[in-house]
Amino acid sequence: MPETYSMDEQRRFWLTFGVLFLFLAAVRVASAQQISPAPLPPAEPGNATTKNDDDLDFLNQSMEQISRTQVRVPSMDVEVSTVTKQDSTVGQSPAAVFVISNEMIRRSGATSVPEALRMAPGVEVARVNSHAWAISIRGFNARFSNKLLVLVDGRVVYNQLFAGVYWDVQDMMLEDIERIEVVRGPGGTLWGANAVNGVINIITKKAQDTQGTLVSVGGGNLDRSINAVRVGGSDGDGFHWRMYGRHFERGPEYSPDGAHDDWRMGQGGFRVDWDLDRSKSSTLTVLGNFYGGDEGQRYIAPVPSFPYFQEILEDESVSGSNVLARFTRKIDDESDWSLLAYFDQTYRNQYIMRQQMNTMDFEFQHRFPVGERHHIIWGLLYRQISDRLPTQSFSASFDPTRRTTDLFSGFVQDEITLVEDRLSLILGTKLETNSFTGFEYQPSARVLWTPDRRHTGWAAISRAVRTPSRFEEDATANMGPFPVQIGEDWYAGFYRLIGNRRILSEDVISYEIGYRTQVTDRFSWDIATFFNSYDHLIWSQPGMPFFEDTYVVIPAAEANGWYGQTYGFELAAQYEVSETWRLSGSYSFLRMVLRSRPGFDPDYESSVGNSPVNQVRFYSWWDLGSRWEFDMGLRYVDVLPTQNVPSYVT
């Protein structure tokens, strides 16, 4: 798809890119001077503090050792668990991973999870209206981005009705988030279908880390009020708990005719963490949440009689609840097993249709070594999703109005040590059977190279799938109206999308190579490159038009009519200027080339224009004494041709 850029847009991009380039050049010069590490504080009795010298191999430390080791910029040693489904570090992760810490969220000024995700390289975040977001990784951005898997404490929030995430109901107390792990690239081997372009894992704090009382009050011209209270306690013998309540009200965005997208939501919840024995080898976590609110909606809905459209102004009610329990048994440092179960219920009442969805999920996972060179992790999963769509309309209808789907899956992964402390090979696959397309497989092979404590190289080849949504299989939806000329007469026309239960899953073969380094104690950077080859992409296939009553219908059945490639890279760096001042920045580049098979709607190519080719981010975090902080952020987002959005800096 051809793209054009105005001179102003080009100047704006190169100015922003030049700032980032000068920043990287400056810190590279500074990194040539060896900076002596600061002395470690005295060790507590019984806890020997690890020395911070060149002979120390950070990549092979346990998490407990890392927590006692002082480093200036611990980018290689940041804890992650999403890449391999076990506690690890960024330096030991053979994937493109970025961690958004609680401190970063607090100092960014973000008031919601989507706003916080803007800090991660390779992530595309666009606000649709006051309460709706379009979020994706490495392309294909849309209101419901169907190639991204999102989890909250292990609970999958991907919605199979429209194949995406309702971000409005993933709101939470940002103070309770421990970190957000953003993994770019396929994650289907461990996490299953729909983790095609990436995984976002939101991990909340343990109850023992949120003791006491917290009261938070805020507001502004759009976020009119954001109020929360949290209380935590314990019995002093391994049982910790917390409860919270939150309410917010957000006003409408700007629109000349009135946006009517104001948003009000109340929510509450609890978390319990219980050490069942004094050795802390058996732990039980139980957490739950409930929410309810109203969202303003303003849109044009098609109707089957003159004037063939109707403006809808409504307040859509949204509510839901969920509860999760996890039992973990630690056998030793290299062996453990866990059981996870959760129930999630969501309800939405809107003009187009009412929808209710219930999800039950049961998972088992086991980790153990085999000899000295093999570390196995495997697991089983069963998930049942039942939905009820009682209200049908000319805009959208489902047949059947009720459906229950089942998912059975198992995975196994072996981390093979080829050269001790230096070279590892990770092989694994996910096998599953689902109610949409039947049997699916998602293998991967990854190589991790750690020549020393400051450098990590990795490469991966993966296959992942995106199963069809309920909408793509069972829905009939009318879009329009638009004028249709037949002879000398004009008629109202509708584009009718028709579900198809014979479509296949979308699939991708992904090739990735990455490198990260801790150049000095103050400066680190990493780069990740990728090439993705997609096939069986789902889009509509137009048929022969026909008359229905007084209007014309162009039928279009869902089918696997598109294929293509995406490629690009993400570069990120951070530099600690001093003990009180830290800089970070990133640059993301993406190209999408999509092609259709004969007879398919060419509009799918417009999805290329929903994702920016270039993105630049720059942040400064500065502590002014013990009571004041001065933080700044700069983002450049390239032009979005499909949405007629020019490039911008914010």
DSSP 470-488: HHHHHEEEEEEEEEEEETT
42 by DSSP, 3-state: which?
A: coil
63 by DSSP, 3-state: which?
A: helix
Token digits of residue 346: 């969501």
Work out the pLDDT band at 16, boundaries 50, 70, 90: very low
17 by DSSP, 3-state: which?
A: helix
pLDDT in tens, 91-133: 999 999 999 999 999 999 999 999 999 999 999 999 999 899 9
Phi-psi label, residue 105: left if phi above 0, alpha if psi -120 to 50, beta otherwise? alpha
Asked if residues 333 and 62 have their Cβ atoms less than 8 Å apart, the reply is: yes
For the CA atoms of 114, 116, 122, 124, the dihedral, rounded to the nearest 10 degrees, stands at 30
H or E element at residue 136: strand 133-137
Confidence (pLDDT) at 391: 75
6 φ/ψ angles, rounded to the nearest 5 degrees: -75, 165
The residue that leads in pLDDT, 364 or 626, is 364
d(CA 325, CA 343): 9
Token digits of residue 371: 């000899």
The length of the chain, given as a count of residues: 650
Strand partners, 380: 364, 410
- Which range has the worst mean pLDDT, 62-66, 222-226, 285-289, 521-525? 62-66
Work out the pLDDT band at 195, boundaries 50, 70, 90: very high
Q: What is the mean pLDDT of residues 270-288?
A: 94
Phi-psi label, residue 572: left if phi above 0, alpha if psi -120 to 50, beta otherwise? beta
Work out the pLDDT band at 49, boundaries 50, 70, 90: very low
d(CA 134, CA 612): 13
The residue that leads in pLDDT, 308 or 24, is 308
Q: Model-level pTM?
A: 0.87
Q: What is the mean pLDDT of residues 538-557?
A: 92
Asked if residues 381 and 407 have their Cβ atoms less than 8 Å apart, the reply is: yes
Confidence (pLDDT) at 106: 94
Confidence (pLDDT) at 304: 93
Separation in Å, CA 101 to CA 157, 597, 642: 21, 44, 33
d(CA 41, CA 297): 56
Nearest to 453 by CA among 95, 74, 58: 58
d(CA 575, CA 578): 9
* Report for 50-64, 229-243, 386-400: range of highest mean pLDDT: 229-243
Confidence (pLDDT) at 352: 80
Confidence (pLDDT) at 27: 38
Domains of the chain with CATH codes: 7-35+72-649 (2.40.170.20)
d(CA 24, CA 524): 10
Asked if residues 627 and 2 have their Cβ atoms less than 8 Å apart, the reply is: no
Neighbours of 305 (CB within 10 A): 11
CA-based max dimension of the chain? 93
Task: Identify each DSSP E strand in 262-334 by its residue range.
Answer: 263-275, 282-302, 309-332
Separation in Å, CA 54 to CA 84, 226, 321, 452: 27, 47, 50, 10
Q: What is the mean pLDDT of residues 297-301?
A: 88
Confidence (pLDDT) at 74: 52
Residue 204 has pLDDT above 60, yes or no: yes
Residue 323 has pLDDT above 70, yes or no: yes
Residue 216 has pLDDT above 80, yes or no: yes
The residue that leads in pLDDT, 69 or 102, is 102
Confidence (pLDDT) at 127: 92
What percent of the chain lies above the pLDDT cut of 90? 72
Amino acid at 147: K
Work out the pLDDT band at 31, boundaries 50, 70, 90: very low
Work out the pLDDT band at 606, boundaries 50, 70, 90: low
Contacts of residue 173, Cβ cutoff 8 Å, sequence gap at least 6: 216, 228, 230, 244, 246
Q: What is the mean pLDDT of the chain?
A: 87
pLDDT in tens, 471-486: 999 999 999 999 999 8
Strand partners, 402: 388
Sign (positive or negative) of CA dihedral 594, 598, 601, 603 = positive
Task: Provide Rg for the chain, Cα atoms.
Answer: 26
